[in-house]
C-alpha cells in the first residue's frame, strides 16, 4: 500500500493517523505541505524519524524545492520526481490519500 499525505503535521493529524495505521513494508509519499514532516526540524516532532525504520518514505522533490527545503530532508527519506511519483502509484495498486 502507498500512503499519500499532503498536509503539514502542524495543520492536521493526518500524518499521525497514517503512521499509526501503516504497516511494515508499506510506503509513504509526502507531497505539498506534507514534506515539512520530512525535514530535520519536523521529523522528530511528528514521529516520522522513527517511522523510517518500518516504512519506505518518499518526498516529492518539486514540492521540497518549492518550499525551500532542499538539503533539509532527514536520513531515510528518498526524494522522487513526478516520474517517481507515477512509478510509486504503479508499483502499489492500493493507495490511501490522507486528507
Residue ranges covered by each domain of the chain:
2-98
Helices (H), 24-91: 40-46, 48-51, 61-66, 82-91
How many whole angstroms separate alpha carbon 29 and alpha carbon 55?
A: 10
pLDDT band at 69 (very low <50, low <70, confident <90, very high): very high
Q: Is pLDDT above 80 for 44?
A: no
Average pLDDT value over all residues in the chain: 94
Q: Is pLDDT above 90 for 43?
A: no
How many whole angstroms separate alpha carbon 33 and alpha carbon 41?
A: 14
Tell me the sheet residues that pair with 95. 2
Q: 88 with 2: CB under 8 angstroms? A: yes
pLDDT band at 41 (very low <50, low <70, confident <90, very high): confident
pLDDT band at 45 (very low <50, low <70, confident <90, very high): confident
Please state the pTM of the whole predicted model. 0.95
Q: What nine digits make up the cell of 36?
A: 515539512
pLDDT for res 55:
96
Quickly name the fold that domain 2-98 has: Hypothetical Protein Ychn; Chain: A, (3.40.1260)
Amino acid at each position: 500500500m502507498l500512503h499519500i499525505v499532503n498536509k503539514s503535521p502542524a495543520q492536521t493529524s493526518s500524518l499521525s493517523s497514517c503512521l499509526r495505521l501503516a504497516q511494515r513494508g508499506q510506503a509513504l509519499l509526502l507531497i505539498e505541505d506534507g514534506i515539512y514532516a520530512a525535514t530535520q526540524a519536523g521529523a522528530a516532532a511528528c514521529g516520522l524519524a522513527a517511522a523510517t525504520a518500518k516504512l519506505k518514505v518518499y518526498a516529492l522533490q518539486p514540492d521540497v524545492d518549492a518550499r525551500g527545503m532542499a538539503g533539509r530532508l532527514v536520513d531515510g527519506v528518498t526524494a522522487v520526481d513526478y516520474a517517481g511519483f507515477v512509478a510509486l502509484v504503479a508499483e502499489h495498486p492500493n493507495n490511501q490519500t490522507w486528507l
